[in-house]
Chain A
Amino acid sequence: MITAEKISPTEKLVSDFEAVKKTLPGNSFVQSIRLKAIESFSALGIPARKNEEYKYSNVQKLFQENFTQSAIYNSQFAIEKYLIPTLDAHIVVLVNGFFSEELSSLNNLDKSVVVSSLQKAFEKHPELIEKHFSTCADINSDAFIALNTAYAADGVFISVPDNAVVEKPIHIINLIIAKESTLFFPRNLFVVGKSAQVQLVETFETHDLPVKAITTSVTEIAIDENAKVQYYRLQNDCENGQQINTVSASQQRNSHFDTNTVTLSGGWVRNNLNIALNGENCESHLNGLFITSETQHVDNHTLVDHRKPHCESNQTYKGILDGKSTGIFNGKIFVQRDAQKTNAYQSSKNILLSDDATINAKPQLEIYADDVKCSHGSSTGKIDEDALFYLRARGLGIESARKLLLHAFVNDVMQTIRINALRDYLEALIHKKLGE
């Protein structure tokens, strides 16, 4: 009698890789990275709960289900409802992590700017790929970076050359369509040259997902000297959507990076945001907002690594949690020995609307330089009863008073979004979500 040996999800992913590796795109350089990545994944394994980084996010449970990895899709559908109404932008559509030429529209883009599928970039821009691919996101630092690096077949590649200013924002629409439980591995690489400027908007939605899916995505952003990058993300998946996202940015001298992560729906979301300040005089602003209900789970992990002097980083994360939802904010700031005159600030503020909602907020500062200004603060509370009463005593109904206060609570994070059409759009979505 033959007894089937039960293999763990990690082992399955490692052995499945053997079967698909031949079909994955990329030259020998990329392939050699994939091999190192799967080795690293095999060694790291899907993190258990005793892993401090995944203590409150049970990823092992996520991978219990049987997932397929092939993602067949039909891209003949209307994308109008995923556009941001008054946003004049270049549009990139990714379906299941694959760049869709048919659905994207990049007509008026300046010739010097490259926006293409990653597959195509592997062929057409080997020098940029070899210089930047897998340099911001370290395969040995996290199992999901390793897993994505091994498996990733496609995604968006953007290259903005030195001194180019992309006038209109580039809106990347991520859509998931699957009839069976599937794993997706989108991989993006954005290379922004010296003194270049670009605004990126990325939205995540599920087009049709009657079953659970897991998206493990990695976005690398290489920001050269003096460049300015704004990167806004809206996560608005359906409840079957489960995401483990990593964004890893590397900044060179005098560069600015502003990012904002807004999570409104999606059943289970883990965001890893890693920023390495590799030159002097960099500025980065990391803002986040999550509004959760029912059984949603949203986990934001940030890591800002100050490696050079005279840099400034600023983080403001806000959460509004209702139902039985859970939220996590874990913000780590490293200030390395060389990073004198660092200014690093971090704040996490949360409102619990229900007794069953929970939040874990944990700031971590590790400072090895002596001449720095660092501060962090975290608070969690209920809606301010005194303010609620004040507004009601002026005639506002309890619902509109609550909404007004919650809007006020998120207002400072919203004001960091510098694309008006996007901010208006988000405000309308937030209004709707808070009105449920």
Chain B
Amino acid sequence: MLSIKNLRAGIEGKEIIKGFNLEVKAGEVHAIMGPNGSGKSTLSNVLAGREDYIVSGGEVSFNGKNLLDMSPEVRAREGLFLAFQYPIEIPGVSNINFLKTAINEIRAYKGLKSIEAKDFLKLIKEKQALVELQGSLAGRSVNEGFSGGEKKRNEIFQMAVLEPTLAILDETDSGLDIDALRIVANGVNKLRSADRSFVVITHYQRLLDYIVPDFVHVLYDGKIVKSGGKELALELEEKGYDWIKKEVVEA
């Protein structure tokens, strides 16, 4: 599904992603952990197509197509979704309206006709229930005046509505209270399927108790320095990153 080979990228002349490799197959859940500033959000933004990041090398293929050639909207229409670490507020743009436009543009891209009003309402209701998002939030301007946790939940709500094939969740768990964490994780689990994959970026093993990953990777200084199964997350929780940094220096 997603194949990243030796990716190099940066911003403002500074290289941040320094030879990154990752293979994500359909249905898999990959967790990426790593110290602050190691490049996790940069990687997410580069994959989503943010234009101020410059890719200086490597290849990314998504379902066999060259992802790096696509505009952000085409990536989304091809099935990529990024839940932002810091979702922004967009006053005056209603959540529901923009999601409807998004769905219809994605459908048009796939040669499908616009969604019927009643089907759309049904979809919204169903997905709201899935992430237990209050109806009033869905109708408001995008994230405007939302609490930190509500913003994160809104990201997952949008993901549920848009039904991507690959979702990157950038620290969706940070800022969530214990109940919200469980609700969001349940929402993700319900969306897990044989043809949908997840890249879950997190600092905390706790999330991975709920969303059990197939692989755990450690990103350090722009590249993956260690990979393992879910037990790697437990080890990191216990020992921190120092031992890994040391290994990198010694290698």
Residue count of chain B within 8 Å CB distance of chain A = 33
- Is the CB–CB distance between B72 and A392 below 8 Å? yes
Contacts of B97 in A (CB 8 A): 404
**Residues of B126-143 whose CB lies within 8 A of A:** 141-142
Contacts of B88 in A (CB 8 A): 386-387, 390
Q: Name which residue of chain A comes closest to B72, CB basis.
A: A392
CA distance A408 to B97 in the complex (A): 11
Given A390-B84, A400-B101, does the pair A395, B90 have CB atoms closer than 8 Å? Answer: no
- Is the CB–CB distance between A396 and B98 below 8 Å? yes
- Is the CB–CB distance between A398 and B71 below 8 Å? yes
Q: Does A50 contact B (CB under 8 A)?
A: no
Q: Does B31 contact A (CB under 8 A)?
A: no
Contact with B along A361-401 (1 / 0, CB 8 A): 00000000000000000000000111101111111111011
CA distance A409 to B92 in the complex (A): 7
Chain A, interface residues (CB within 8 Å), range: 20 to 34
- Is the CB–CB distance between B82 and A395 below 8 Å? no
- Is the CB–CB distance between B92 and A396 below 8 Å? no
CA distance A396 to B103 in the complex (A): 9
CA distance A386 to B141 in the complex (A): 16
- Is the CB–CB distance between B90 and A389 below 8 Å? no
Nearest CB on A from B70, distance (A): 11
Nearest CB on B from A284, distance (A): 24
In the complex, which of the residues B76, B90, B109 contacts A408, with contact meaning CB atoms closer than 8 Å?
B90
Q: Does B59 contact A (CB under 8 A)?
A: no
Nearest CB on B from A399, distance (A): 10
Q: Does B17 contact A (CB under 8 A)?
A: no
**Residues of B58-98 whose CB lies within 8 A of A:** 71-73, 75-77, 81-82, 84, 87-88, 90-93, 97-98
In the complex, which of the residues A393, A397, A401, A408 contacts B49, with contact meaning CB atoms closer than 8 Å?
A393
Contacts of B92 in A (CB 8 A): 407-409, 411-412
Summarize A's interface: helix, strand, loop or mixed: helix
- Identify which of A386, A392, A407 gathers the most chain B CB atoms within 10 Å of its CB: A392
Q: Does A84 contact B (CB under 8 A)?
A: no
Q: Does B54 contact A (CB under 8 A)?
A: no
Contacts of A392 in B (CB 8 A): 49, 71-73, 76
CA distance A130 to B49 in the complex (A): 68
- Identify which of A389, A394, A409 gathers the most chain B CB atoms within 10 Å of its CB: A394
Nearest CB on A from B167, distance (A): 12
Nearest CB on A from B115, distance (A): 13
CA distance A68 to B52 in the complex (A): 56
Q: Does A35 contact B (CB under 8 A)?
A: no
- Identify which of B71, B98, B162 gathers the most chain A CB atoms within 10 Å of its CB: B98
In the complex, which of the residues A385, A389, A393, A404 contacts B93, with contact meaning CB atoms closer than 8 Å?
A404
- Is the CB–CB distance between B77 and A395 below 8 Å? yes
Q: Does A71 contact B (CB under 8 A)?
A: no
Q: Does B105 contact A (CB under 8 A)?
A: yes
Q: Does B234 contact A (CB under 8 A)?
A: no
Contacts of A394 in B (CB 8 A): 76, 98-99, 102, 158, 162
Q: Does B185 contact A (CB under 8 A)?
A: no
Nearest CB on A from B155, distance (A): 10
**Residues of A389-436 whose CB lies within 8 A of B:** 389-398, 400-401, 404-405, 407-409, 411-412
Excluding A390-B87, A391-B90, 15 further A-B contacts by CB distance (< 8 Å) are A386-B88, A389-B72, A391-B93, A391-B98, A392-B49, A392-B72, A393-B48, A394-B76, A395-B73, A401-B73, A407-B93, A408-B91, A408-B92, A408-B93, A408-B141
Report 6 cross-chain contacts, Cβ distance below 8 Å, ordered by A residue.
A389-B50, A390-B90, A393-B81, A395-B76, A396-B101, A400-B105
Residues of A within 8 A of B (CB): 384-387, 389-398, 400-401, 404-405, 407-409, 411-412
